[in-house]
């Protein structure tokens, strides 16, 4: 059996992306993107909507493959892994989906227990305790027997978070973890992400638009636009680095290098006023 | 399947491409059967949903098919004075054709559409992707148990349908129209051959129909666009494709088995 190709050992970097190029339906999502995600740190990926943040997470986990370039996770090239090797890699990766993606046939408890039941032969009592501990961490131990359709959007995200961390993975990818959370839940989730990072050394990648939340916990912020990394650095100072990208994005301005409007023809012509201007 | 495959632009090539993809999906499904043995509980659960939950419609329809068949045959055969053979004709019609075909059509409408809609919604709500991310093979966990459940349930449902149809025929013929009870059963047992009518007619055909309907239902669910419109189209396609496949396959099997 051939061994997966490993990149040169680099303990400081868990995910190394080089020359990532992806074109979907004729639209260039990534254009020779280079990015390093440091091990044991919290990295936040930010950028305008539709810039490919979720797609980047899918590339990292092997759900999508790039047209060109490479992604190494813990030294292994994701595109070259067999299905079994990819699944083995994913056992060490937690993923919080944008829409929670809870299994609707199971209650909250069974949703969180699902990965444990599939990949371990732990005794039922231990599974129960592990699940209850994770649910306690997200404040939903009392909701263990509710079905997904009985949960609010924020509660569903917290259950999905408990499921994502049930294995204490080495890497957790959070896709918009703060959407739909009230201030109390948001604060608790922030603390949880920080605790997981500080106590277990879990590498976290956050896709989020909430700059205030990101500034509280992230070690590193990456700003994506037009298929490339246009800015990156410390979350406290990145907004003030003076580049037109960060000024427009963090300042919320419509005009700038990040296009607010989808490409379209002449506005007056489309409204039928073209002749009136002559 | 492969999102980057060029999409054929005319109906014939699109249909052929679908059949080809369905064939490839069948190979994936068969390849996943050994891995799905660890999800035996899921297969049993699906057997309950597609089999036991379809019992009511199968029993009621079987009863009425047998009753109306006997009524029609009695009036036609009475012209020739052959009403004593009506029980036997009901049995042969049900075992050879009506049992497997009508059961399969009802199964496609009741269980096939439910399977397609369920898997389609699982795709639309990222549940399939979540399984992938939890290193659980969705083909082995979701598709194969439903396919195997359909394969097991169809012959059993067909047997129930046939039994109810014979009962319905007896009810109308013997109880209502006055055919002699002994004649009804003796003519039937004399003419029905276990190998030709029961094994080839009921079991083999229903097994084949069960495989086709389950494959189409699971395939449509897995390949539907993850939108509400996509799921609606996929459930419709399951019924249409299954119905055509059942009737076409019935002709082929009958031609080979006769």
- With a cut of 0.90, is the ipTM above it? no
Helix (H) or strand (E) holding A195: helix A183-200
pLDDT score, position A127: 96
Q: Considering only A231-240, B61-70, B147-156, B203-212, which range has the smallest mean pLDDT?
A: A231-240
Rounded to an integer, the average pLDDT of B125-139 is 93
Q: Which of residues 124-153 of B touch A (CB under 8 A)?
A: 125-127, 129-137
Angle between helices B11-36 and B144-170 (to 10 degrees): 100
Q: What is the pLDDT of residues B141-162, one digit of tens each?
A: 999 999 999 999 999 999 999 9
Q: Any CB–CB contact under 8 A between A110 and chain B?
A: no
The answer to whether the CB atoms of A103 and B126 lie below 8 A apart is: no
- CB-CB under 8 Å, A61 with B134: no
Q: B3, B133, B225, B231: best mutation site toward chain A, by most A Cβ within 10 Å?
A: B133
B216-237 tens-digit pLDDT: 999 999 999 989 999 999 999 9
Q: How many CB pairs under 8 A join A and B?
A: 47
- Residue A144 DSSP class: T
How much is the pLDDT for A277?
A: 52
Share of chain B above pLDDT 90, in %: 84
The percentage of chain B sitting over the pLDDT mark of 70, rounded to a whole number, equals 97
Q: What is the pLDDT of residue B157?
A: 97
Residues linked to residue A96 through DSSP beta bridges, in sequence order: A174
**What residues contact residue B36 under an 8 Å CB cut-off, 6+ apart?**
B42, B43, B140, B141, B144, B145, B148
Compare CB distances from B130 to A83, A88, A101 and report the shortest one's residue.
Answer: A101
Q: What residues of chain A lie within 8 A of the CB of B137, using their CB?
A: 83, 87
In chain B, residues 84-123 whose CB comes closer than 8 Å to chain A = 121-122
User: pLDDT at position A7, please?
Assistant: 46
At A94-122, the pLDDT tens digits run 999 988 899 999 999 999 999 999 999 99
Instruction: Determine which of A146-150, A270-274, B59-63, B209-213 has the lowest per-residue pLDDT on average.
Output: A270-274
- The reply to whether residue B133 touches residue A114, judged by beta carbons under 8 angstroms, is no
A80 to chain B, any CB pair closer than 8 A? The answer is no
How far does CA A130 lie from the centroid of its chain?
Answer: 24
Look at the pTM and tell me if it is higher than 0.90: no
The DSSP annotation for A231-256 comes to: EEE-TTTGGGS--HHHHHHHHT-SSS
CB contact under 8 A, B130 and A91: no
pLDDT at A44: 94
CB pair distance less than 8 Å for A118 and B125: no
How much is the average pLDDT of B49-66? 96
pLDDT means over runs of 10, chain A (278 residues): 44 90 89 92 90 92 92 92 92 90 95 94 95 92 95 89 91 89 85 86 90 88 89 82 81 78 84 70
Question: Are residues B132 and A102, on separate chains, in Cβ contact within 8 Å?
Answer: no
Q: Do A87 and B133 touch (CB under 8 A)?
A: no
SS3 readout for chain B? CCCCCCCCCCHHHHHHHHHHHHHHHHHHHHHHHHHHHHHHHHHHHHHHHHCHHHHHHHHHHHHHHHHHHHHHHHHHHHHCCCHHHHHHHHHHHHHHHHHHHHHHHHHHHHHHHHHHHHHHHHHHCCHHHHHHHCCCCHHHHHHHHHHHHHHHHHHHHHHHHHHHHHHHHHHHHHHHCCCCHHHHHHHHHHHCCHHHHHHHHHHHHHHHHHHHHHHHHHHHHHHCCCCHHHHHHHHHHHHHHHHHHHHHHHHHHHHHHC
- Best of A95, A106, A116, A171 to substitute, by most chain B Cβ atoms within 10 angstroms, is A95
Q: Across the interface, do B136 and A97 touch by the CB < 8 Å criterion?
A: no
CB-based contact B130 A119, cutoff 8 Å: no
Given pLDDT bands bounded at 50, 70 and 90, which one contains residue B129? Answer: very high
By CA distance, what is B38's nearest residue in A?
A118
- Residue A114: which of B121, B129, B134 has the nearest Cβ? B134
Label residue B6 by pLDDT band (50, 70, 90). low
User: What's the pLDDT tens digit per position in B86-110?
Assistant: 999 999 999 999 999 999 999 999 9
Task: Specify the 3-state DSSP secondary structure of A171.
Answer: strand
Look up residue A259 and give its DSSP letter.
-
Is any Cβ of chain A less than 8 angstroms from the Cβ of B5?
no
Residue B142, number of CB atoms within 10 A of its CB: 27
Give A103's contacts in chain B (Cβ within 8 Å): 127, 130-131
Which pLDDT belongs to residue A3? 42
Chain B residue with Cα closest to A62 = B133
| Residue of chain B with shortest Cα separation from A116 | B134
- pLDDT at position B5 is 55
Find which of B28, B134, B145, B146 to mutate to test the A interface (most A CBs within 10 Å of its CB): B134
Q: Does B227 touch chain A (CB under 8 A)?
A: no
Contact at CB, A115 and B132, closer than 8 angstroms: no
CB contact under 8 A, A99 and B129: no
pLDDT at B108: 96
Q: Is A114 on the interface with B (CB under 8 A)?
A: yes
Position B46 pLDDT exceeds 50: yes
């Amino acid at each position: 059996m051939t061994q997966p190709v490993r990149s040169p050992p680099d303990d400081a970097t868990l995910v190394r992306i080089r020359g990532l190029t992806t074109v979907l339906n004729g639209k260039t999502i990534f254009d020779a993107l280079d990015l390093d995600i440091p091990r044991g740190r919290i990295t936040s990926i930010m950028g305008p909507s539709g810039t490919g943040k979720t797609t980047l997470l899918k590339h990292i986990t092997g759900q999508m493959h790039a047209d060109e370039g490479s992604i190494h996770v813990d030294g292994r090239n994701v595109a070259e892994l067999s299905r079994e090797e990819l699944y083995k890699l994913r056992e060490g990766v937690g993923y919080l989906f944008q829409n929670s993606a809870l299994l609707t046939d199971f209650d909250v408890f069974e949703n969180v227990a699902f990965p444990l039941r599939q990949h371990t032969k732990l005794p039922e009592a231990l599974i129960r305790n592990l699940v209850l501990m994770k649910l306690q961490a997200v404040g939903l131990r009392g909701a263990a027997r509710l079905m997904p359709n009985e949960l609010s959007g924020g509660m569903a995200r917290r259950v999905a978070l408990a499921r994502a961390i049930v294995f204490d993975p080495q890497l957790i990818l959070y896709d918009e973890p703060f959407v739909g959370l009230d201030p109390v839940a948001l604060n608790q989730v922030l603390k949880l992400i920080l605790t997981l990072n500080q106590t277990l050394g879990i590498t976290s990648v956050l896709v989020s638009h909430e700059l205030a939340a990101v500034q509280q916990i992230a070690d590193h912020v990456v700003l994506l636009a037009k298929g490339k990394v246009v800015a990156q650095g410390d979350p406290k100072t990145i907004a003030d680095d003076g580049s037109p990208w960060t000024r427009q994005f963090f300042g919320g301005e419509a005009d700038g290098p990040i296009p607010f409007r989808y490409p379209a023809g002449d506005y007056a012509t489309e409204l039928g006023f073209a002749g009136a201007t002559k | 399947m492969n999102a980057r495959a060029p999409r054929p632009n005319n109906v014939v090539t699109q249909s052929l491409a679908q059949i080809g993809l369905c064939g490839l999906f069948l190979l994936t499904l068969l390849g996943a059967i050994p891995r799905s043995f660890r999800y035996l509980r899921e297969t049993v659960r699906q057997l309950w949903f597609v089999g036991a939950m379809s019992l009511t419609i199968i029993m009621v329809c079987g009863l009425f098919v047998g009753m109306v068949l006997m009524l029609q045959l009695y009036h036609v055969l009475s012209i020739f004075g052959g009403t004593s053979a009506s029980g036997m004709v009901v049995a042969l019609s049900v075992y050879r054709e009506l049992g497997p075909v009508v059961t399969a059509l009802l199964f496609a409408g009741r269980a096939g559409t439910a399977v397609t809609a369920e898997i389609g919604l699982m795709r639309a709500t990222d549940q399939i992707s979540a399984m992938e991310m939890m290193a659980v093979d969705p083909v082995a966990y979701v598709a194969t148990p439903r396919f195997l459940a359909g394969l097991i349930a169809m012959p059993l449902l067909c047997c129930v349908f046939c039994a109810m149809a014979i009962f319905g025929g007896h009810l109308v013929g013997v109880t209502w129209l006055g055919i002699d009870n002994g004649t009804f059963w003796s003519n039937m047992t004399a003419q029905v051959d276990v190998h030709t009518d029961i094994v080839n007619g009921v079991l083999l055909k229903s097994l084949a129909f069960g495989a086709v309907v389950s494959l189409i239902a699971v395939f449509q669910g897995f390949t539907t666009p993850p939108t509400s419109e996509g799921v609606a189209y996929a459930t419709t396609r399951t019924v249409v494709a299954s119905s055509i496949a059942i009737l076409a396959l019935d002709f082929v099997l009958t031609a080979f088995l006769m």
